[in-house]
Amino acid sequence: MKPGPFTYHDPASVDDLVGLLGSLEDVKLLAGGQSLMPMLNMRYVIPDHVIDLNTISSLDGINDNGSALEFGAMTRQADVLENADVGNKAPLLHEALTHVGHFQTRNRGTIGGSLCNLDPSAELPVAALLYEAELSVQGPDGTRQVAMKDWPLAYMTPSLAPEEVLTSITMPYWTEPHGSSFMEFARRHGDFAIVAVGCLLAVEGGNITRAAIALGGAQQTPYRLEEAEQALVGQPANENTFKAAAEIAKSQDAMSDTYVQENYRKRLAGVLTQRALKQAAVRAGA
């Protein structure tokens, strides 16, 4: 199939891009194109204008500022996966990316594109939630910062106005010794997760001192399991503690679709949470 007719734009700078967004209507932004191109070809979307971000070099790059990793929104997923700072400072992000599509799609797909598409089963929004990312958004009124916890508004709907563009993502990394784990269950490797769980766990003297758990695929937006995180702190890093956290994960609401029913997703959420916490504890040296 072929896309419907549209006008193509390739701005050279973010200022040019923002100018176009402020003057045009019915616009789609082309980043990696791994989601947009199929939707255009199948005419799920028929925009009047497509703006290509690939000519804006300032939107690409990875930087470690000493406390956080900074990503340009157009940074390719393959570049994030291969970056040594990501592997050392944010190993969960590295692990999550191994589940994202295949190397062909990661070569084109971008970190910002995934966060803006905000598929409920996508892996990168789960990682961004865990690391409490800050997203920089630019529009005609200037730049604003959005916390990742406030980014999902509804199903595949980020906190982004039609005239705005995501320009960068800042992910603070944990500096204390800790372990991490990312697990998901999918119909086959490379597919979107039916349920995905990521966790970060700091353990000292056999007890948990800090915990972060995020889930994707279970609900219409990714979410943090805050009740379980709070319950874990101060508890011994053992099977009973992790089982109790898994019960909390299992008790959360979950969605049903053509392939998977609510109860199955709830069971997966519990099982994967317990397994991920155990693996993170082992990696933390517990």
Measured distance CA(121)–CA(216) in Å, rounded: 5
* Type and span of the H or E element at 169: strand 165-172
Among 207, 8, 61, 222, residue whose Cα is nearest residue 132: 222
- Whether the per-residue pLDDT at 236 is higher than 80: the answer is yes
Q: How would you class 255 by CB atoms within 10 Å of its CB: exposed for 0-12, middle for 13-18, buried for 19 or more?
A: middle
**Residues β-bridged to residue 63:** 70
**Residues β-bridged to residue 146:** 135
**pLDDT averaged over the chain?**
96
Measured distance CA(63)–CA(169) in Å, rounded: 11
Q: Where are the domains of the chain?
A: 7-52, 57-172, 179-283
The residue written with tokens 């199903």 in the block is 155
Q: Are strands 195-204 and 152-154 parallel, antiparallel or unpaired?
A: unpaired
Give whole-number Cα distances, 21 to 9, 269, 284, in Å.
11, 40, 46
pTM (two decimals):
0.95
> Is-contact 200 211, C-beta < 8 A?
yes
- Whether the per-residue pLDDT at 1 is higher than 80: the answer is no
* Average of per-residue pLDDT across 90-104: 94
Q: Is 55 helix (H, G, I), strand (E, B) or coil?
A: coil
* Type and span of the H or E element at 207: strand 207-216
pLDDT interval class at 12 (50, 70, 90): very high
Number of H helices, E strands in the chain: 11, 14
What is the separation of C-alpha 202 from the centre of its chain, rounded to a whole number of angstroms? 22
* Average of per-residue pLDDT across 241-263: 96
* Average of per-residue pLDDT across 138-145: 95
Predicted confidence at residue 189, as pLDDT, reads 85
Predicted confidence at residue 2, as pLDDT, reads 86
Predicted confidence at residue 219, as pLDDT, reads 97
- Name residues whose C-beta falls within 8 Å of residue 94's C-beta, 6 or more positions apart in sequence: 80, 81, 86, 87
* Type and span of the H or E element at 249: helix 239-251
Higher pLDDT, 228 or 192: 228
Q: Give CATH for domain 179-283.
A: 3.30.390.50
What is the separation of C-alpha 254 from the centre of its chain, rounded to a whole number of angstroms? 19
Q: Give the whole-number percent of the chain exceeding pLDDT 70.
A: 100
Among 218, 222, 229, residue whose Cα is nearest residue 257: 218
Predicted confidence at residue 274, as pLDDT, reads 98
> Is-contact 99 123, C-beta < 8 A?
yes
Q: Give CATH for domain 57-172.
A: 3.30.465.10
Q: How many CA atoms, within 13 angstroms, populate the side-chain half-sphere of residue 154? A: 0
**Residues β-bridged to residue 168:** 72, 136
Instruction: Classify domain 7-52 at the CATH topology level.
Output: 3.30.43
